[in-house]
Chain A
Amino acid sequence: MKYVLLICGDESAAEHADDGCGGWSEKMAERGVLRGGAGLRPPSDATTLRVREGEVLLSDGPFAETKEQLGGFCLIECADLDEAIEIAAAHPAAAYGTIEIRPLLDL
């Protein structure tokens, strides 16, 4: 199964932006479950876009002004949800933010 780990946090999570993953990425890559991912610049650097009737509409900021904002994501591939939970729980961001585990559509 493939899952994306969506790593979210409130403003206080920003102070962890340059923390890295404390060896998590290396360990998961070595285990063969990490397929990719990245940390993201803060929502204040985001541009949101939609195209309506052929017109490109832009706005400054993230698509939803919520307390919790996306700070990074990882693509993993593992046996099942229990393994995904174990992998996500080992991520340092789980201790201060929240991690949403989303299965990918099978195509």
Chain B
Amino acid sequence: MTPLVEAAVDRAFREEWGQVVATLIRWTGDWDLAEECAQDAFALALRTWRRDGVPRRPGAWLTTAARNRAVDLLRREATGAAKLREVAGVLRTGDDAFGDDEPDVPDDRLRLIFTCCHPALALEARVALTLRTLAGLGTAEIARAFLVGEQAMAKRLARAKQKIRHAGIPYRVPPAHLLPERLPAVLAVLYLLFNEGYSATAGADLVRHDLADEAIRLARVLVRLMPDEPEAAGLLALMLLHHARRAARLDEAGDLVVLEDQDRGRWDTAQIAEGVSLLDGTLRRGRPGPYQVQAAIAACHATAARPEDTDWAQIAVLYERLARLVPSPVVELNRAVAVGMAYGPAAGLALVDALRETGALAGYHLLPAARADLLRRLGRTAEAADAYREAAGLATTEAERRYLARRLAALG
């Protein structure tokens, strides 16, 4: 195998899979057939490109190959006759066999994103379907990433595709009046994918780290396809700004390193610059939304050269805006922490205690953890120790428990 051709096919797979599948679904209306033909097209590319060289436009070549394969397969089954006429029609109005002159149809991928992320599908089905059909991940890979058996994942995917067919979920980008309710469903899937990858701990979960990369790649596609949607750009900026810090988030033991202790020299400055410039351009549109505000908060952290340079007053203001956009006690807690950093621990503690009174965060370990830090800074050591112990008792991961135990020990 010529390594160059293999690399070209690999790259084409990453870049073109979603487009090939999306186009085939539009032509045939059959998701399984579309995937099968896309797979065959990539297999054919491996053989043919070695002999004839890599075509000028690999995506168009692959789409044509997949389409020809679909015509072959449909020809073999009588029930495919009607579909065949449709696909063959597309074939005739098309171009030469290599498809080099075929115009791009970018919204096929957009159709696919919106259909995969339709709110009539369960969230986990949306996530799995997006990874399979749009990103081209194998069923086994997706199953590993979400810690379920391969059979269970195959069933989940089959069920989702069946519901799309049987329930009549349309294969299209929703009309403008539906976008405000449908776009958040798409963004939520991408953000969930990102967080699944981002919160993965240590090397044991390499597959999950790929999920964060995959989410960023899909968000880039979405931003390119929907340049007028500031929240799509806001989400991409948010992911980039978080992702830029990933090398500094865990120490050698796999323990969580909090923001203020991270080695900022290990942050990815290029990615931070990209996130900030994307965010600046988006905020200028004057249509803020939750992802843009969260990205702005992440930018405050990512652009501080040292922890003490962090603009906490600005962060407190941004959390207040976020709370107005998406009221949530977790956002209130973050605002309290920012206020504590900007205006002193007493101001922060007053907000945390008020929040504690409401009981909205009962059982959430980060509330006593934040309280403990504020009490510590106020010199109320005994109360701080109690709060750290309370937090450790509620923490859900081993790394967090270890972190809280260290803080408790440091109280002396």
Chain A residues proximal to chain B, CB less than 8 Å: 1, 3, 79-82, 84-85, 101, 103
Contact = CB atoms under 8 A, between A and B. Distances in A.
B143 interface: no
A85 B120 contact: yes
Contacts of B169: 80-82
Contacts of A79: 168, 170
Interface string B159-187: 00000001111100010001000000000
Given A80-B169, A81-B169, 20 more contacts: A1-B168, A3-B168, A79-B168, A79-B170, A80-B168, A80-B170, A81-B120, A81-B167, A81-B168, A81-B170, A82-B169, A82-B170, A82-B174, A82-B178, A84-B168, A85-B120, A101-B167, A103-B166, A103-B167, A103-B168
Contacts of B178: 82
Contacts of B168: 1, 3, 79-81, 84, 103
Interface of A is mostly: mixed
A6 B120 CA distance: 16
Interface string B82-108: 000000000000000000000000000
A89 to B, nearest CB: 10
Interface string B115-135: 000101000000000000000
9 contacts: A1-B168, A3-B168, A81-B118, A81-B168, A82-B170, A82-B174, A84-B168, A85-B120, A103-B167
A68 to B, nearest CB: 19
A33 B120 CA distance: 21
Interface in B166-216: 166-170, 174, 178
Contacts of A80: 168-170
Contacts of A1: 168
A80 B166 CA distance: 10
Nearest to A78: B168
B335 to A, nearest CB: 34
A9 B174 CA distance: 30
A82 B120 CA distance: 9
Contacts of A103: 166-168
Nearest to A103: B167
A79 B166 CA distance: 13
The 9 residue pairs across chains A and B that have the minimum distance between CB atoms: A80-B170, A1-B168, A80-B168, A81-B168, A81-B169, A81-B167, A103-B167, A82-B170, A103-B166
Q: Which one of B120, B166, B168 has the greatest number of beta carbons of chain A within 10 Å?
A: B168
B178 to A, nearest CB: 7
Contacts of A84: 168
A79 B175 CA distance: 14
Contacts of A3: 168
A43 B109 CA distance: 47
Nearest to A85: B120
Contacts of B167: 81, 101, 103
A3 B167 CA distance: 9
Interface string B136-170: 00000000000000000000000000000011111
B125 to A, nearest CB: 15
Q: Which one of B167, B174, B178 has the greatest number of beta carbons of chain A within 10 Å?
A: B167
B314 to A, nearest CB: 40
Nearest to B119: A85
Contacts of B166: 103
Contacts of B170: 79-82
Contacts of A82: 169-170, 174, 178
A38 B162 CA distance: 30
A79 B167 CA distance: 11
B118 to A, nearest CB: 8
A55 B143 CA distance: 49
A41 B196 CA distance: 48
